[in-house]
A and B are shown apart, each in its own frame.
Chain A
């Protein structure tokens, strides 16, 4: 919950009480004259804090600030064979937001997310409510099995499902064949998004379930006792009490899932060679940015797309947190 509260734009990271206390204690240290030799305690604390934070600060500057700044600078330039490299202000951005390839990718991940995210988070919530209530051996196996795909690299998850979807030897097609339904082209135009959604759901449901489960475990048990005395059944307790009480965790998983969805890349990239007519180079915005840079050497334009995508995700997350701040700050 504090992640949400602290990230809310209104919360400009209030100095924590412990800091005040530390400040108070150095003052005390100085008064008793323990640290009068050399530098004052306050200065030494400042120096120590700076020293400890320096490695992180340098990495932050080199691998976050600098790449973003450089990409932004590149995105303001245009390089052509005839015209050379020159400053073109926001021409690349204007092109980005009118580029049908980019826009179709955005539309595709939005449609994908609208279906896949509710299905996955619904399953995760169902699983979390079950393992919060049931403590049998089966529930333990259930918890571990669902979380296991999280330990599998996304590439390998996509490779496995790519094989499972295979029209020649995949079990899904053997099953539909046996049922007399004939072959189903899971890697064709009409089912590709569903097939990709299935991979993502398989991979991430358990992770989200554990996050929600942890939130459920943190709730005070007395509330359930009270509900039980009032005659609420387990289902009622789950829906009317537990779900509203973990709404902040649900919002959090929702936000991280949306961020992940907008960056959708690995799964379509892995399945691309099996279905090159379906997964076009502009299939998702991120795949498009990648292909522009590495297939077409359009670095300036690719930088503009990466930057726009990052900015959209970043601003979107802040707006989302702001909009749900009341809900997520629910006590």
Chain B
């Protein structure tokens, strides 16, 4: 954390010393990078190491190095079978929540973003201004009110209570609108219309293929957003059969602390955390350009 105050190379004006100072500067910059890499990687390293230990080794051996004999596969086996295999169920729930909300939110955002960019209809400006405001309404400030409302219609403690609110993604709409304006010229749409294509065909055959990168970005953000969400399912659900991984792991952790580590729950929390983040890390490494694509909108243009 103190790297922010790391010494920076002195700026010099004449040529000869500058070569020296830029070499020193490079060393400093590399040192800063290495220090920060170590700090940001440390928890991941710890998680991998800890996932190979059983409960006794976890408490008695050095935290950042392996201990033999390892018990990684035992931990995994316990993880998937503990309490009737509830971890697998939570994983399935998470996939359902993230999958349905992700695809649904992307479809909704695509249609709306495209409409805002290319059509003029009554209420357009009003709805778009309120959308921009909605981006700034804190999601957690909405969760309790949404719970109170859904409990009136007996929808709390069902899968819908997590899925339906997650379909609303104002930022996704904004992102699609910006992308459509920048990458889909009106002439292209008009040419298709002149060729006799109806509005639906223009949307599905002309617009959507061009918008693919934006759609993948919105899909990724909505899926990861739901996969990682904690507050909404925590508020909505109290049946542990419906929990997603985040709420489930937190309940295990709480259980482990109550029993002060007497049983193997700590190792399960650790192995479970590792298994839960693997798909995300892989997705993030493979789909880097889409992540960055989404993050540049709004800051760049």
Query: Residues of A at under 8 Å CB distance from B?
Result: 1-4, 6-7, 12-13, 15-16, 18-19, 21-23, 25, 29, 34, 44-50, 52-53, 55-57, 59-60, 62-64, 66-68, 70-71, 74, 119, 122-123, 126-127, 130, 133-134, 138-139, 141-142, 144-157, 159-164, 168-171, 174, 198, 201-202, 205-207, 210-212, 214-215, 218, 231, 233-236, 248-249, 252-253, 259, 262-263, 265-266, 269-270, 273-274, 286, 289-290, 293-294, 299, 302-303, 306-307, 309-310, 313-314, 317-318
Q: Is the CB of B142 within 8 A of A67?
A: yes
In the complex, which of the residues B131, B146, B147 contacts A60, with contact meaning CB atoms closer than 8 Å?
A: B131
A174-B62, A303-B144, A306-B144 are known contacts. Are A46 and B122 too (CB-CB below 8 A)?
Answer: yes
User: Which B residues are CB-close (under 8 A) to A314?
Assistant: 133, 136-138
Q: Mark B30-65, 1 if CB is under 8 A from A, else 0.
A: 101110110111111011001000000011101110
Which parts of B256-300 form the interface with A (CB within 8 Å)? 257-258, 266, 269-270, 273, 276-277, 280-281, 283-285, 288, 291-292, 295-300
B95 near A: Cβ within 8 Å? Answer: no
**Cross-interface CB contact of B299 among A22, A46, A249, A259, cutoff 8 Å:** A249
Tell me if A53 and B40 are in contact (CB < 8 A): no
- The 6 closest A-B CB pairs, nearest first, are A49-B119, A49-B121, A310-B141, A71-B145, A56-B112, A3-B298
Determine if A306 and B141 form an interchain contact, defined as CB atoms under 8 angstroms apart. yes
Contacts of A141 in B (CB 8 A): 37
Nearest A-chain residue to B141, judged by Cβ: A310
Closest to A75 in B: B145
Q: Is the CB of B281 within 8 A of A139?
A: no
Are A2 and B148 within 8 A (Cβ)? no
Interface size on B, residues (CB 8 A): 125
Does B1 have its Cβ within 8 Å of any Cβ on chain A? yes
Is A119 within 8 A of B1, CB to CB? yes
Q: In the complex, are the beta carbons of A231 and B13 less than 8 A apart?
A: yes
Do residues B295 and A53 form an inter-chain contact, with CB atoms below 8 A?
no
Is B227 in contact with chain A by the CB < 8 A criterion? yes
Contacts of A171 in B (CB 8 A): 42, 46, 62-64
Which B residues are CB-close (under 8 A) to A3?
174, 297-299
Decide if the interface of chain B is mainly helix, strand, loop or mixed.
helix
Known A130-B33, A163-B270; further 16 A-B contacts with Cβ < 8 A: A1-B299, A12-B129, A18-B118, A45-B119, A145-B41, A146-B37, A147-B291, A153-B280, A164-B43, A171-B62, A211-B295, A233-B9, A265-B231, A290-B144, A303-B145, A313-B137
Within 8 A of A (CB), among B19-36: 21-22, 25, 29-30, 32-34, 36
Task: A4 to B257: give the CA distance in the assembly, Å.
Answer: 45
11 CB-based A-B contacts, threshold 8 Å: A13-B132, A45-B120, A49-B115, A53-B111, A53-B121, A70-B145, A71-B148, A74-B148, A157-B43, A248-B299, A293-B144
Contact between chains at A12 and B125 (CB < 8 Å) = yes
Residue of B nearest to A201 (CB): B1
